[in-house]
Amino acid sequence: MPRVTSLSAALLLGASQAISSADHAAYVPPKLVHCECRLENMEAQYLEDAEAAGIDVTSSFEGREGTSIDAFHFRHLQLAVEAQPLTPDQEQTSHSQEPCASNAPPKPKRQKIFQHPYGSGEAWSKLKPSQSSIRQPHDLSELPSPLVPVLTPPTAGSKSQMKKAKTGKKSRRGKKASRPRGGVVFREAGRDPVLSDALRLRRKLVLGGDLFGTQSFSILEDAPHVSTGWHGLNPRPSARREILALHRRPEEMRKVLETFRPVPADLSRSTILLDKGNSIFFFRTKQFDWFRQGGQAFHDSVMLLLRDILNSPKEKARFRENDRGPHLPFIIGHHRQYVLKPSLTEWHEKNKEAVEVFMATPIVQTIINRASSLVKIMFPGVAERVETSAAWHEKNHGIKPLFGVFWNLCINALFPGQNRVHCLPHTDFKNIVGVCLLAIYLAPGKVFNHKKRSWLVLWEAGVIVELPPWTFTAYPSALLYHFNVDITDFKFVTTEGDSPTLENSTPIEPGDEQVSVEVRQGVESGGLWAPLDAVNIPAIQHKSPTAFETPPSLLVVLLSSNNMHCAV
């Protein structure tokens, strides 16, 4: 019997034995409800006791309906222990604990999203910009407010208004304008000129982009999140098993995904996905020339930082059996998972000079600045929430984000001999509700067929999205089950109209899936990333594992404000 150092470990051990006992083969464990207590200051002791007791916290209840690591509060584990005959001492201990206040009955079950995706292809259509509705910016923590607002593109003014505007007094060179600045957008911005400019840019992006909307999916109603609205929820174990089983059977998965809406990329235009409430939950930019021109410099800076690690057989062996793939997930910036006080990652702390050289690279600074600006323009509620949290951390911990509105950056790189980083189905549910921002680039000397390779599946939304290099992509990875897929053998067609049909579409033909790879400095490709979500403010204990994935032959920069946890 392992030595037990506290009540939490005793209950953890008892629960594990109760579930695995052969005498209770028919026993169905009670439904453990998500706990908002977050273990608070007991978290470190809790995890230590679990390890000392020989209990794998992340998998002890894996496969049991309605359970997850969030349920491993010792008061919840008490429910499982009570299913076994209790000794007098255990019975006394059990009755001494009051039930957790957050242990309320679960809400009515939603539709099984893994069997019938909400956003199947026929539910999506291409929209005209005028079809969107006006929304003022909302903080993502204000549920059930819209997660992401949508602004209506400005309508054409009447002839009288246009005439009035033309006849107004004009400013003279070298002198202040005689008429104060005005307009609908200026008033919406509270007469703040900086915010007004951001709103105008936002409307310009909406007007000039491709809009797709669905009548079957709501980011608020159908994307699982905790009651506080701070972070997502992992899908049920049975649902995860179902999708992973499909993923291991490509033909069956293909039949399911062919019912999804393909969203190909127009490299000269941005792409916006709206849910049925007209809330933006996905944004993909056009292809940036400045990004492509700086690709060599960016790749060189990454290799300078990681070459020694990538050439280490020990490091390669360490990640060989990683659930997210055998690539290297390398994080710089502030680490927040499973800690009460954020701090720099261990490697960053020991190699500050190398990190500073990397971050001082002009192309790296440009990517960070433009990524931050994009989030402020398209997701103002997210940016505001991050900045509020950052101010709290600066006051209480003396730290602030090193990457604009992002707290850290994860480089997902390939070890020698690897030629692909391809993410498995997962959700970054422990990320605080926000958006993950991916800056996707092509390694020098490579040819990548983005028309066929590593499209991004957003399961609940029922879409498959193309991810071209030299673009930025933002979406809430904490709320959507996602993974990469090649569409080489898919029978759906890329569409230019409202819905995919043979008449309005261009078929995807086989034969162009080959990728030319040039090995450079022992590394073929890799990725950079970091998700954008607000970090914890007082009493919010946010913890999550880190992971990331990138498309084959691509490098991806994911920028985010909390834990790194984005996919592409």
pLDDT tens string 15-49: 333 333 333 333 333 333 334 343 444 445 555 65
pLDDT computed for residue 234 by the predictor: 84
pLDDT bracket for residue 271 (50, 70, 90): very high
Average pLDDT over residues 41-61: 54
Last-in-domain residue among 52, 79, 96: 96
Least confident range from 82-96, 276-290, 331-345: namely 82-96
- 3-state DSSP assignment of residue 52: helix
**H-helix or E-strand spanning residue 554:** strand 554-560
DSSP-assigned letters across all residues of 241-279 = HHHHHHHTSHHHHHHHHTTBEEE---TTS-EEEE-TT--
Worst-scoring range by mean pLDDT, 160-169, 173-182, 386-395, 473-482?
160-169
Nearest alpha-carbon partner for 457 in 31, 79, 221, 120:
120
Question: Which of 422, 562, 451 lies closest to 511, judged by CA?
Answer: 451
For residues 183-209, average pLDDT: 74
pLDDT band at 188 (very low <50, low <70, confident <90, very high): low
Instruction: Name the 3-class secondary structure at 284.
Output: strand
The domain of 44 spans 7-96
* β 463-465/547-548 pair status: unpaired
Is residue 370 included in any domain, yes or no? yes
**How do beta strands 328-335 and 526-529 pair?**
unpaired
Residue 353 pLDDT: 94
332: in domain: yes
Q: Could you tell me what percent of the chain has a pLDDT over 70?
A: 51
In a domain, 145, yes or no: no
Domain with residue 318: its CATH number is: 3.60.130
Q: Which 3-state string (H, E, C) describes 58-84?
A: CCCCCCCCCCCHHHCCHHHHHHHHCCC
Domain finish residue from 96, 119, 149:
96
Does some domain include residue 254? no
**pLDDT one-digit tens code per residue, 400-420:** 999 988 888 877 788 888 776
Instruction: Encode pLDDT of 205-263 as tens digits.
Output: 888 889 998 888 888 888 887 776 667 888 888 888 888 888 889 888 888 888 889 99
Q: Quote the CA–CA distance of 23 and 31 in Å, as a whole number.
A: 20
pLDDT at residue 264 greater than cutoff 90: yes
Picking from 29-38, 301-310, 477-486, 536-545, which range would have the lowest pLDDT averaged per residue? 536-545
CB atoms within 10 A of CB 187: 10
Mean local confidence (pLDDT), 144-165: 35
Structural domains of the chain, count: 2
Q: Is residue 483 part of a domain?
A: yes
**Is 537 part of any domain?**
yes
Strand partners, 506: 494
- Asked if the structure places residue 127 within a domain, the reply is no
Last residue of a domain, one of 96, 130, 165: 96
356 has a pLDDT exceeding 80: yes
pLDDT confidence of residue 8 = 36
- For residue 249, tell me if it sits in a domain: no
Q: Looking at the predicted structure, is the pLDDT value of residue 149 above 70?
A: no
E strand spans, 123-277 = 124-127, 210-214, 261-263, 271-274
